[in-house]
Structure 1
């Protein structure tokens, strides 16, 4: 067996929710490694800004507006990306929304439906749309971004936790189903990360939480999640599939 490569240079990667936070960091990391990056986001202006930033540095990136709750847009954009780059090797399902609501809240059904649509149903739709292209790739990779909320929940987050737990199950099932084709499917569960979703949490509260709950006693940075995503997408990561990997500073490992 020849030594597999440790570079994604020339590979085409589609990243959902790439306009901010972990998605934006992932776009930067892949572009810096020489990949062709499809920056997709619900907000066209943020996707455009990220792509323009990368292009300004001489890196290969294009922007698409994509609402992952819309199956028609998913099919259109995925095919456009593959046509534009001439290939599609890697899919990173990163797009997300907050999904916190008490079980007896008046808006619970709305939050539940939105959470499952964006955080879970969209993942399988993206995979289904990308699959014909991934099957032609030399080292096809799928990475789903879940959350440590899939492994241990917080009060009033049942829509979010249920959707993220579904991503874990979907990842394992697809890893088994697609493994015979050499398509790897893995899942990252970020813990407390400095993103738009946690921006409203005061710094003092962040420090207190991290000190009490994580082994590293700090919040993580989006780039730290992005580098794990990159690692799972290397050609050399050919025997890693069905893995559920916390990137959480030791939150799930710490008892007290």
Structure 2
């Protein structure tokens, strides 16, 4: 038994496709058939704002049905309403990826509405502590590693049989340039993002025989609410001096790459950690 209905958050029925939405999808099927992700289903975690929301929008614009999720129901409601208002095919559910019952609900929602899953994009992440690595408590370590590293692997393990049924699939994990150039005040977070580089390589080897590709988006400083490390007004100008491209990144700079990695154009690309940072973080 899949414990879907025991755990549904308030208002979950509002995400069932309405007759009008289904009609709109039907009448636009000819146009959608020309889109590179037409008839595909994507699950995107942490997708109600920032990079995750922009990725969800782009995947939907390129023809996929997208299942949106985040920890707060009101944020899911707002994101779904916004994208449906743009004529995009999306549903959503509340999901704290660190909780097993929430991951089960996310999988159940995708299967209930869509019948299968083609893509998984894991953007959900946390950083509850700003400070040194050795100054991080065991509780901080457990939370960061559970949400940032363990949860993507466990969620993928639950979705894997359904992706195998499709005959192919694409997974995109989201790390950070801090994996290559650690920021001194983000000790344990840096480590978790470095771990995702290894997780990408390992999963790519394991899943390649199943025709499921695993790649990793490695953003540099992208201007979102999550990335505000300081209120210093000179921070942005300082960061620009570090970049080859003289501007701070935007979430849209990441979305196109993820759509490409999910598309047939990337069918021979797997195990790659791809930096989107305006410069090489190795320099």
TM-score by length of 2: 0.83
Evaluate the alpha carbon distance shift between residue 214 and residue 235 of structure 1 in structure 2; reply closer, same or farther with a 3 A threshold: same
- Once residues 200 and 73 of structure 1 are traced to their aligned partners in structure 2, the CA distance between those partners, rounded to angstroms, is 29
1:102 to 118, 128, 132: 132
- Secondary structure of the corresponding residue to residue 79 of structure 2: helix
Q: 1:36 Cα shift? A: 0.3
- Does 2:208 match 1:176? no
1:78 matched residue in structure 2: 107
- Secondary structure of the corresponding residue to residue 270 of structure 2: coil
Larger Cα-atom Rg: 2
1:187 to 184, 193, 216: 216
Contact 2:173 2:216 in 1 (8 A): yes
Q: 1:184 Cα shift? A: 0.2
1:205-242 CA-partner distances (Å, limit 9, x unpaired) = 33323222111121100111111111100022110000
- Secondary structure of the corresponding residue to residue 87 of structure 1: coil
- Secondary structure of the corresponding residue to residue 130 of structure 1: helix
Q: 1:135 Cα shift? A: 0.5
Tell me the number of residue pairs that the alignment of Structure 1 and Structure 2 aligns. 249
1:53 matched residue in structure 2: 82
Q: 1:248 Cα shift? A: 0.6
Gaps of 5+ in 2: 1-33
Between stretches 78-87 and 142-151, larger displacement belongs to 78-87
- The runs of 4+ residues in structure 1 deviating greater than 3 Å are 199-204
1:168-192 CA-partner distances (Å, limit 9, x unpaired) = 1111001000001110000111000
Gaps of 5+ in 1: none
Q: 1:6 Cα shift? A: 7.1
Q: 1:111 Cα shift? A: 1.9
Aligned residues: CA RMSD: 1.7
1:19 matched residue in structure 2: 48
1:110-146 CA-partner distances (Å, limit 9, x unpaired) = 2211110110011101110110111112441000001
Higher relative contact order (CA 8 A, sep 6+): 1
Between stretches 79-88 and 57-66, larger displacement belongs to 79-88
Evaluate the alpha carbon distance shift between residue 200 and residue 36 of structure 1 in structure 2; reply closer, same or farther with a 3 A threshold: same
